[in-house]
Amino acid sequence: MFAKNQQSGATLAVRGIRDATSFALPIQQLVQQLDPELPVSDILTMDQMIGKSTLDASFDAMLVLAFAVLSLVLAGVGLFGVLSYVIARRTPEIGIRVALGAQRENVLKLVMLDGLRPAFFGLAFGIAGGIAAAQLIRSMSDRDRNFAAGRCHCLPHSCLARLPARSNGRTPSRIKHAN
């Protein structure tokens, strides 16, 4: 059981065989006898103290988990959309293949391989990049890690900002040729 003084931050730890709540009142009375102006607050068991100290870490872990699940769902929806688009564009080709006698399993295999090939390449490159990045981060000092984190944060934004800038930079020449 802990009794913590909010002003000075002093902590008193008491170990006992009986229930921790049975110690609270006698300890408060003992502290009041020693110093009547010394307040006693936050009387907690060890389990409560550990739970209180790990609350921030568990919240952070849950937040990361929520964003990971969200990114997985968004990736799945994106993959579904791309596959739907690819299959919709190939509908005449698939119809011709079926009309010429292709088996349903062969057509399904063709469509699945064409659709999942980019996902497998992305998975392979993502795992390789993650392993390489983890090794690079482990070899860095704290100062280098902070610098690298800033660069990694800014790099995708600068690349994404470049795309519209490139297309807008070419717009006047397209307009000239259209006239």
pLDDT classification of 91: cutoffs 50, 70, 90: confident
Provide mean pLDDT across the span 44-50. Answer: 81
Residue with tokens 């088996």, as numbered in its chain: 103
Provide mean pLDDT across the span 161-173. Answer: 51
* pLDDT of 169 strictly over 50: no
Residues with Cβ within 8 Å of 26's Cβ and at least 6 positions away in sequence, in order, are none
**Domain membership flag for residue 36:** yes
* pLDDT of 134 strictly over 70: yes
pLDDT classification of 179: cutoffs 50, 70, 90: very low
**Domain membership flag for residue 25:** yes
pLDDT digits (tens, 9 = 90+) for 94-129: 889 889 998 888 888 888 888 778 878 888 998 898
CA–CA gap between residue 168 and residue 162 (Å, rounded): 10
DSSP calls for 12-26: EE---SS-THHHHHH
Q: What is the end-to-end Cα distance of the chain in Å, rounded?
A: 84
* Same domain (yes/no): 94, 139: yes
* pLDDT of 2 strictly over 50: no
> What is the gyration radius of the CA atoms in the chain, in angstroms?
32
CB 2 within 8 A of CB 12: yes
* pLDDT of 164 strictly over 50: yes
Provide mean pLDDT across the span 47-69. Answer: 84
CA–CA gap between residue 116 and residue 87 (Å, rounded): 12
**Domain membership flag for residue 65:** no
Counted domains in the chain:
2
CB 16 within 8 A of CB 23: yes
**Domain membership flag for residue 126:** yes
**Domain membership flag for residue 115:** yes
pLDDT digits (tens, 9 = 90+) for 28-39: 888 888 888 888
**Domain membership flag for residue 135:** yes
* pLDDT of 158 strictly over 80: no
117 compared with 151, residue with greater pLDDT: 117
Question: Which residue segment(s) compose the domain that 107 sits in?
Answer: 90-144
User: What does the pLDDT read at residue 70?
Assistant: 94
